[in-house]
Structure 1
Amino acid sequence: MMNGIHLTPRPFGFIQARFGSTRLPGKILKCIPENGRDTLLDHIHNRLRKILPKDFIVFLIPENDLKLAEFLKQRGYLYFLGSEVDVRDRYIKAAEKFGAEHIIRLTGDNPFIDLTAIELLWEAMFHVNSANYCLSMQGLPLGMGVECFSYSALRQNIDKYKEPRHTEHVSLHIKENLTENAIYRLSPPHLNDKEQACSSQIRMTIDTPLDLKMMKDVWEELGGNNSLFGAKDVIQLFLSKPEIFSTNQSVEQIRFDLPNETNQKKKISMTYGEPAIYGSGHFERCKSLSIELQMAGFDTFCNPSGEKGFDGFIVDAREREPNGFPALLIDSLLPPKEETIHINLLPHPEGSEREPKDLSFYCSPMIELFKDQSTIPGQWMIYAGSLNSEICTLLDQFLLKTASVKWDVKHWIRVGGTIPKSNLIQYFPRLTKYEYLELLSRSEGFLSYFGQSIMESLYLKKNTVLFGMTEIHKKLGEYFANLANLTYIGEPDHLYIDGKSPSLSSIKLNRNGHLKIIKWAETL
């Protein structure tokens, strides 16, 4: 909500860049790797395209920077020409030209931004209760984070903040005014406390030749396998090969002392099931939940190394005991105990959803961006998570030989699992949240095992089919298929179609499962 009005924010990515640089002239057009095609600006654009439409990505450059303008024009990138000295005015004028109410601010010397952090800041926009806000994420390596703010906050009180530091550093006047602006400095739920501590020792921005050399070395280690590597990948590299990051440790960074909030917040430990073991649903849900709790005024710590000093404990893992009390257990198979509260965000045979007319669940608020999208007839999407090669092969064979004919499927898209042996199945090993939801929204049908992805499919009103991955997934899949009037096609070694065609479920889903969690947190 913003000022009591439901908000579905669609931010612009504004990248400030200039060809001139005192310490490293022309750095933004340097290539990484050195013999490659992609400049620093290309890397930024390539990453942003994974979470933003092309028309929402704009480079903001000085009006006399003709060489840079020509480069951007040749690449087909959007750009805006503005004041060279007054960078803040450049942002204001660009926002007015493109109608940008919400802005993600990036700079041309930070090529390897963390996409997960940007998506989570975007989620935070859904929970802002002020027209004037600024969002950032702490605990990331320098140069891998961004900041987000509203046009309203950017435009407000600029006549009172006219010093050169304010016109050069775009959002400084917003962050210095805690009275009229809502300032949120969030913690990254995809990094644990030890990883966040390491971040302060890592410099992933380019100001000098030493920075550029280090970034090329990082790319050499990570870029070949995953060109979209994130903060967690960089931190793990730092822990295994710290010598790479010693190259630019002596480079000084400009910093500003900013006012901080003085109120003490309740601290909540959040433990989620390891994605490689329990699937990514628990992880994705807890990332979003952590952001929502932080925006509601709580400090959250995901998978912390210690369990002391917390006011409450949330566990999103089926059979894991809490490390302290009071505790809230999500979709737990453990018996109730004193000082524990159980809630089901996924329906369970032993739950309270016996014959419900509607169900409460929880997922990223970004799903609201993709409701009522037009679908591509005959396109189906499969989510396979971390399923092994044997299961994926059995599943693919069934899809191509049987389901394609019975369900009139023209195009299969599989996300996760191992690489298909047939080129008739389009394959994505991983996707950003934005890409995943966009693909799902455009698909006519969806197939997966019981879990978070099934709920998202039903919420977007897709023809939804379940199969059993393990014994517990078989039990839950059969139960939920019966509950929601869905098609269940068996297990990988015995897949079948019993004549029932996939159809929309009559069950109603409400994306309000967080309300019980927020209510519990408010009692701490």
Structure 2
Amino acid sequence: MSNEAVIITQARMTSTRLPGKILMRAGERTLLETHLGRLAEVGVPVIVATTTNQSDNPVVELCAALDVPVFRGSENDVLERYQGAARAHEARHVIRVTSDCPLICPELIRAGLDIYLSLKSRSVYLSNAEKRTYPRGLDFEIFSRRSLDFAAENARLSSEREHVTSYIRTSMPDIHHESYTDQDDLSDWRITVDTDDDFKLVKLLIEHHRAAEMDYAALKALLKAHPRLMTINSHIQQKTI
């Protein structure tokens, strides 16, 4: 039976800046467990797309313990990995997120998905990151399986294979872009985990402020009330595509 929409999150242990970060612990859980727990609140199936590398066996084992389905594919051809995961679960639409976002907010994804589905088009790409107002670490992208298949069949550049939506965003014929934005522009904040200092911030937010239990409004209020928290990793430069 086909799924109307699924969340596919990419996860691997061989991060270039902070290897093994997704299994680092903050509070009583690993970052990946916190990430998956929050995604489960969206209310659609969640699939972890990892690699066939032996180094990612611990990811597969953790997901098995959590009863979260896994698809294993190429480390570098992430576009093909996503296509394989979407096909395996007969998805009609895909919500793409990444596992370095342990505090991703389910209510934002759900609201974005509701808008996306209301448009009733397989040629829509909706994201809260293309026109960025939300902090890094809350990113999501929504597109059709049709768009994903077309990209997987036509993308030729290595950058288009590594970065799942690059072809869809820049070269897909007749694609319609929709942006999900907030009235507050907090795009200079980082609550993603890519470096040691990113991890220090997220660990502090989870262990001392119970951020893993917060929706976006509460998380935003917390960070505005404690502006010094955001100085912990404000010097980190985001990797460029």
Q: TM-score, normalised by structure 1?
A: 0.43
Q: Deviation per CA, 1:96-119, whole angstroms, max 9, x where unpaired?
A: 111011111111110111122101
1:148 deviates by 1.0
1:221 deviates by 4.2
Distance 2:93 2:144 in 1: 5
Instruction: Tell me, yes or no, if the aligned pair for 1:222 and 1:229 is still in contact at 8 Å.
Output: no
Match of 1:144 in 2: 138
Distance 1:49 1:75 in 2: 11
Residues 1:227 and 2:218 aligned together = no
Match of 2:163 in 1: 169
Distance 1:203 1:124 in 2: 26
Once superposed, what is the RMSD of the aligned Cα atoms? 1.9
Distance 1:178 1:154 in 2: 10
Seen in structure 2, the aligned counterparts of structure 1 residues 134 and 228 have a Cα distance that, compared at 3 Å, is: farther
Instruction: Tell me, yes or no, if the aligned pair for 1:141 and 1:201 is still in contact at 8 Å.
Output: yes
Distance 2:73 2:42 in 1: 26
Counterpart code for 2:187: S
The structure with higher relative contact order (CA 8 Å, sep 6+) is: 2
Q: Which blocks of at least 5 consecutive residues in structure 2 are unaligned?
A: none
Matches within 5 A, 1:85-234: 85-137=76-128, 138-177=132-171, 179-188=173-182, 193=183, 196-197=184-185, 199-223=186-210, 227-234=212-219
Counterpart code for 2:51: P
State, as a whole percentage, how many aligned pairs show the same letter. Answer: 28
Counterpart code for 1:242: P
1:83 deviates by 0.9
Distance 2:120 2:41 in 1: 27
Counterpart code for 2:46: I
Query: Which residue, 60, 83, 98 being the options, matches 2:49?
Result: 60
Q: Deviation per CA, 1:94-146, whole angstroms, max 9, x where unpaired?
A: 11111011111111110111122101111112222432221112421111131
SS state at 1:227 partner: helix
Counterpart code for 2:24: K
Distance 1:236 1:186 in 2: 20
SS state at 2:35 partner: helix
Q: Deviation per CA, 1:328-352, whole angstroms, max 9, x where unpaired?
A: xxxxxxxxxxxxxxxxxxxxxxxxx
SS state at 2:26 partner: coil
Counterpart code for 2:222: L
Greater C-alpha Rg: 1
Matches within 5 A, 1:206-355: 206-223=193-210, 227-255=212-240
Distance 2:189 2:208 in 1: 15
Counterpart code for 2:99: G
1:76 deviates by 2.3
Q: Deviation per CA, 1:208-250, whole angstroms, max 9, x where unpaired?
A: 1100001112223431xx6331332232222221111111111
Seen in structure 2, the aligned counterparts of structure 1 residues 39 and 240 have a Cα distance that, compared at 3 Å, is: same
Counterpart code for 1:227: A
Distance 1:108 1:255 in 2: 18
Matches within 5 A, 1:357-376: none
Residues 1:30 and 2:24 aligned together = yes
Distance 1:207 1:141 in 2: 14
Residues 1:74 and 2:59 aligned together = no
Matches within 5 A, 1:2-13: 10-13=4-7
Seen in structure 2, the aligned counterparts of structure 1 residues 129 and 43 have a Cα distance that, compared at 3 Å, is: same
Distance 1:176 1:101 in 2: 21
Distance 1:17 1:131 in 2: 26
Instruction: Tell me, yes or no, if the aligned pair for 1:28 and 1:39 is still in contact at 8 Å.
Output: yes
Which stretch of structure 1 is more off in the superposition, 154-163 or 111-120? 154-163
Query: Which residue, 21, 24, 31 being the options, matches 1:40?
Result: 31
Instruction: Tell me, yes or no, if the aligned pair for 1:131 and 1:152 is still in contact at 8 Å.
Output: yes
SS state at 2:205 partner: helix
Q: TM-score, normalised by structure 2?
A: 0.90
Counterpart code for 1:136: S
Instruction: Tell me, yes or no, if the aligned pair for 1:60 and 1:82 is still in contact at 8 Å.
Output: yes
Report the number of matched residues. 234
SS state at 1:101 partner: strand
Instruction: Tell me, yes or no, if the aligned pair for 1:113 and 1:230 is still in contact at 8 Å.
Output: no
Distance 1:153 1:211 in 2: 33
> If each structure's helix is expressed as a fraction of its own residues, which one has the higher value?
2
SS state at 1:10 partner: strand
Distance 1:228 1:134 in 2: 29
